[in-house]
Amino acid sequence: MASIHKEIFLDAPADEVWSALADFGALPTRLVPGFVTDTKLDGDARIVTFANGSVARERLVTCDHDRRRLVYAIVSERISQHSASAQVFAEGPARCRFVWTADVLPDEIAPYMSSQMDLGFAAMQEQFGKAAA
């Protein structure tokens, strides 16, 4: 199973970024505008439409406010396993570190997922401000 781990620093308070991440249905307005164009809630899942036209059903696994950690999963015809976690860590009063990890099968989908995560980070940088590493 391929495991993808990425981190980014943002010039925004951890609580602000966490609030946007924890708002499960607000990806296109609060967390990653431009990267995600639409989100519809459906029970414990969200139907996400990405800028490239792909659509994914992401099921909420857990949302831990104390640890600022959200976990979601995707199962589709192309993806037999996808579990991802995103966590926000304070790095001072106006800066945070966003850690995103995804485990995927088949392994061949990992390069695509990795590039999508990079685009998600670019959208976060636009939304919150890029910080030096």
pLDDT tens digits, one per residue of 78-105: 899 999 999 999 999 999 999 999 999 9
What distance separates the 2 farthest-apart alpha carbons in the chain? Answer: 43
* pTM passes above 0.85: yes
- Neighbour tally for 101: CB within 10 Å: 16
Give the pLDDT confidence score for residue 32 in this predicted structure: 98
Q: With 70 as the cut, is the pLDDT of residue 66 above it?
A: yes
Backbone angles phi, psi at 103, to 5 degrees: -110, 125
Which amino acid is present at 84?
Answer: A
**Residues 17/98, Cβ–Cβ less than 8 Å:** yes
CA distance 21 to 87: 9
H or E, element range at 65: none
Which two structure tokens, joined as six digits, stand for 76?
């589709």
Q: Which residues pair with 8 in a beta bridge?
A: 98
